[in-house]
Amino acid sequence: MFIRTAIAVLVAASVIQTGSAFAQTAPQPAAPPAAHQHRHHFALFRGLNLSSDQKAQIKSIHQKYRAQNQTISDRNQRRANMRAERQEVMAVLNPDQRAKLQQRLQMMRQRHRQEQGAPSAPQAQ
């Protein structure tokens, strides 16, 4: 009887341990949910006084790259797509809008670096 109980405990412990090992190595989500990204993306454009034509063009550009990125798992390719999307969007904006958007992007990058604990500017060696 004791041997059966000991074997049952060992089996249960190994099942639990295996489950926790899989839980620890499970891939983490690469990005926030799409709804959050969508709100975040368009929040950058608030206050830029975009025309309805500009809004439609930017929405179309964003949808095009979003569709492309759904099938891509390579991080470098996603970054290249993000840069290409940004260039296309910048081409839609007038110079004043472009300057405001670049300023917002810079502020966002600085805030992200601070949250990640990275230095805000490269240090000279």
Instruction: Give 90's contacts (C-beta < 8 A, 6+ positions apart).
Output: 98, 101
What integer pLDDT is reported at residue 47 of this predicted model?
A: 83
Question: pLDDT tens-digit profile of 3-40?
Answer: 666 576 666 666 666 554 444 455 555 555 544 454 55
Query: Exposed/middle/buried for 89, CB within 10 Å: 0-12, 13-18, 19+?
Result: buried
Percentage of residues of the chain with pLDDT beyond 90 = 35
- pTM beyond 0.75, yes or no: no
Q: What is the pLDDT of residues 104-122, one digit of tens each?
A: 889 888 988 888 875 555 5
